[in-house]
Amino acid sequence: MHLEGKVAVVTGGASGIGAALCRALAAAGADTVIVADRDEKGAESVAAAIAATGCRAEPVHLDVSIADQVETMVRRVEAEHERIDIYFSNAGIMVAGGVEVPDEEWDRIWAVNLMSHVYAARYVLPRMVARSDGYLVFTASAAGLLTQLGAAPYSVTKHAVVALAEWLQITYARSGIRVSCVCPEAVRTNLVPELAARTPPAAGSAVSQAARDGILEPEHVAVSVMEALADERFLVLPHPEVATYEQRRTADRDRWLAGMARLLPPPAATG
């Protein structure tokens, strides 16, 4: 895909990977970048900085977990700019812990980390399919291909994002729709300290596991995404080592599971 003259929406655009994507789109010649985020002031700041470079940018206050808000935003952008060429469904949160995590926390991360992508596809696909052209980019995680120690809700939702992205690519390929799925390991965003703060002591190696191949800057991830878009490549691996880990996982799943288990500290003695 060529980005010159395109209308792009980026959710989670106020910080981290989202903000880096907004800047990369402007640098690549996009016509309009919609910076959508719950952080209204952050979105305004990113949009203003982009607008200063000569690219049109608009901040939008958006809670991606609420379907009506996503639909309203999509309809407004389509009405004002005629189309959405590329939609970066990027917003996400971290919830650490295991099956003991309260239902309300499971519901919250499910709504943000998965249903936001469902809503994005639901509302942008009809116009994209009608003109046989459009691009969806979902930010998942290496945890969606592998797992995340100490964070079952995060792992489960990120696996679901990868599955949804694959389904959409298969289902809509003949309709002119392209899909990319971004699966980095640790990136220098607010999710890394949040994982550290929320991870139970029994899974204390979770952060080191996520960062084993280095903590990337958001700008590095944005470069990887731009390269993947140019090639219209589905899987985006800013940490290329993840491809090797996934191959090991599929080649001998039992061995891989045992190896991951050894990364956890031994259970505390009882009695």
Question: Mind giving me the DSSP string for 77-146?
Answer: HHHHHS--SEEEE-------B-TTS-HHHHHHHHIIIIIHHHHHHHHHHHHHHHTT-EEEEEE--GGGTS
Residues marked active site are found at 154
Q: For residue 267, is it within any domain?
A: no
User: In the chain, which stretches have pLDDT less than 70?
Assistant: 190-211, 268-271
Q: For residue 270, is it within any domain?
A: no
Q: For residue 269, is it within any domain?
A: no
Q: Can you tell me the distance from the alpha carbon of 159 to that of 174, in angstroms, rounded to the nearest whole number?
A: 25
Question: Mind giving me the DSSP string for 208-262?
Answer: HHHTTT--B-HHHHHHHHHHHHHHT-SEE-SSTHHHHHHHHHHH-HHHHHHHHHT
Q: For residue 1, is it within any domain?
A: no
Q: For residue 67, is it within any domain?
A: yes
Contact between 221 and 185 under an 8 Å Cβ cutoff? The reply is: no
Q: For residue 31, is it within any domain?
A: yes
Q: For residue 266, is it within any domain?
A: no
What pLDDT does residue 247 have?
97
What pLDDT does residue 269 have?
60
Q: For residue 137, is it within any domain?
A: yes
Domain hosting residue 112, numbered range: 7-261
Based on the structure, what is the number of domains in the chain?
Answer: 1
What pLDDT does residue 268 have?
65
Which CATH number belongs to the domain containing residue 16 in this structure? Answer: 3.40.50.720
